Amino acid sequence: MEVKALLQIGRFKDIVFTLFKYGLDDIVDRLDLPGRHLFARIPPDVDTMTTWERVRHTLEDLGPTFVKFGQLMSLRPDLLPTGLIDELQKLQDEVPPVPFEQVKVRVEGELGSSIEDIFFHFDETPIAAGSLAQVHRAVLNPNRDVVAVKVQRPGIRTIIEKDLAILEAIVKRLEKRTERLQVWDLPNLVNELRRSLTHELDFSREARNMKIARDNLAAVDYMRVPRVFDDYTTERLLTMELMEGRKLKEIGTDEIADKERLAKVILETTLVQILEHGFFHADPHPGNIMLMEGGVLCLLDWGMVGRLSTEARYGLIDMVQTIIDKDTDKILWILSQFAEIGARANPKMIQREILDILDSFHGVPLSKINIGRLVLDVIHLLRDQYIKLPADMAIMAKALVTAEGTARQLYPELNVIREAQPHVDKIARKRWQPESLWLGVKKALYRLLYLQKNVPGRIEHIIEVIDKGELRFRFQHENLSGLRRTLETITNRLTFGIIIAALIIGSSMIITTGVKPLLFGFPALGIVGYLVSAILGLWLVFNIIRRKKW
């Protein structure tokens, strides 16, 4: 493992203890972590939990970095099985609040003035406390604006940096030792987590996200995004308009009066973000949507967002049309434009499976089609066929599925196709407007000029290398790490066996010579040889049994 990770030996102890606590000792064995034998007798606290439930509880016990890792993984249905994603969506990010004295020091340090000079009133008790920050209700001095002040927890950056080093070392070790986990691409997920947490810990970035979303959704009736107070916002402090109401997850559907309208607002909000602007909230679940007075909704927590390029949005529209037309050849072609198709992908199998998915919706009225289920079925097919979607495309799919699920909880009869049609038509018309066509022509001309300028030089360089006899080809084998480790293990055990056999034979020959010094009437050197060979043999047998590789 990396030196930076190994320095956190105390944290490794906590990880090993937690894994054993929830009966995940198989992971500990695969990781070969230090100190694992000390915890092997810990009785697992699993009761009747499923494997995925144990994973969730393990991540919750390990703290904020691991909770965030689980939450990020819950947005990737293209990588993880449905059962695991369902559990990861339940991850709790609620912790005891930081004492007000520390909060006061942080606020005054960030704003450069005493808290009394800036705020007319500042509640000492937070209205929410998470692993990264906590939120306090306050009133600003100048205009008596009621605000919510999001304060970053002191020391959280150091904790996350240490945990990320450990997590990175763990997933690399797991991927090397467990071939079936390689399809999940865990190291890349940790890289995404590092990027995501770096963004989430920069509250000025979240403030920017909120301002962009507020402008984009200004035309959507009954949906609001909190206003940001820039003069009182820094990287570690976010001051925004206080939105008062109840989160949808806290309200029973029977308590909501106009369910159909609210369901349409949620769906329209997501479609406007994805199709028209390509900038969207990554996780619009009921815990991030607040119902306020007057039936107005508010979308909270803009720390994690997704982005889609114009080309990606056009590709999405094309994909929808080809699915309706059942044109599997074109579906594969569109996928190849923005997805990474692995060498093990089987195009014929993909076409057959896509047709099978589409046939399951044959004869179903458009108003009854569950777009979320259709999207998830296609994503699971892509995962099984080793086709990797770009992270933002996968997150977009999950956001769309989540928004539809939230809307249907309110109003199960919602006609998703009818609600989406105006937005699809709008972006389709925009695609063929003269301005968009001319922009495409300019891009094509630029690429053509770039090729005309650079290709001749590159061809000349290749010919020069061939003339000098310096052209080389490099071949790289993939997915052979398991075979390599197996061969190394076999070689090591054979070597040990030969050494043990040689010691036994040599000791036997010495015993027959009667050479001195003697021990118990036999040559001492021969007896020592027997003892060494016996110890090595017992160690080899113990190692084979311990690793269950017999």
> For residue range 469-516, what is the model confidence (pLDDT) as tens digits?
776 766 665 555 666 677 777 787 788 788 888 888 888 888 777 777
Instruction: Band the pLDDT of 250: cuts 50, 70, 90.
Output: confident
For the segment 524-546, what is each residue's pLDDT rounded down to a tens digit? 888 888 888 888 888 777 777 66
Q: For residues 383 and 148, give the distance between their C-alpha atoms in angstroms, rounded to a whole number.
A: 41
- The contacts of residue 527 (CB under 8 Å, 6+ apart) are 507, 511, 519, 520
Query: Residue 214 above 80 pLDDT?
Result: yes
| Angle at alpha carbon of residue 221, lines to 216 and 226, rounded to 5° | 55
Instruction: Band the pLDDT of 235: cuts 50, 70, 90.
Output: very high
What is the per-residue pLDDT for 40? 53
- Which of these ranges, 26-35, 264-273, 284-293, 296-305, has the smallest mean pLDDT? 26-35
3 state DSSP class of 122: strand
Q: For residues 276 and 427, give the distance between their C-alpha atoms in angstroms, rounded to a whole number.
A: 6
Higher pLDDT, 193 or 128: 128
End-to-end CA distance of the chain: 27
Alpha helix (H) residue ranges in 305-432: 310-325, 328-338, 347-359, 371-384, 391-410, 416-431
Query: Residue 132 above 90 pLDDT?
Result: no
Q: Confirm if 313 and 426 have CB atoms less than 8 A apart.
A: no
Bridge pairing between strands 297-299 and 289-292? antiparallel
What is the per-residue pLDDT for 349? 83
Q: For residues 502 and 121, give the distance between their C-alpha atoms in angstroms, rounded to a whole number.
A: 84
Average pLDDT rounded to a whole number, residues 362-388: 73
What is the per-residue pLDDT for 180? 61
Q: Confirm if 354 and 384 have CB atoms less than 8 A apart.
A: no
3 state DSSP class of 3: helix
Instruction: Band the pLDDT of 109: cuts 50, 70, 90.
Output: very high
> Which tokens go with 463?
């010919």
Q: Confirm if 200 and 219 have CB atoms less than 8 A apart.
A: no
> Which tokens go with 515?
């050479």
3 state DSSP class of 125: coil
Concatenated DSSP letters of 135-189: EEEEEETTT--EEEEEEEPTTHHHHHHHHHHHHHHHHHHHHHH-GGGGGG-HHHH
What is the per-residue pLDDT for 148? 95
> Which tokens go with 21?
């606590």
Query: Residue 441 above 80 pLDDT?
Result: no
Q: Give me the percent of the chain exceeding a pLDDT of 70.
A: 84
Alpha helix (H) residue ranges in 178-301: 186-200, 203-216, 259-271
Query: Residue 7 above 50 pLDDT?
Result: no
For the segment 39-73, what is each residue's pLDDT rounded down to a tens digit? 555 556 566 788 888 888 888 888 888 888 888 77
- Which of these ranges, 20-29, 139-148, 213-222, 240-249, has the smallest mean pLDDT? 20-29
Element (H, E) at 72: helix 64-73
Q: State the average pLDDT for the chain.
A: 80
Element (H, E) at 513: helix 481-513
What is the per-residue pLDDT for 473? 67
What is the per-residue pLDDT for 181? 63
Higher pLDDT, 102 or 21: 102
Question: Model pTM greater than 0.75?
Answer: no
Higher pLDDT, 251 or 328: 251
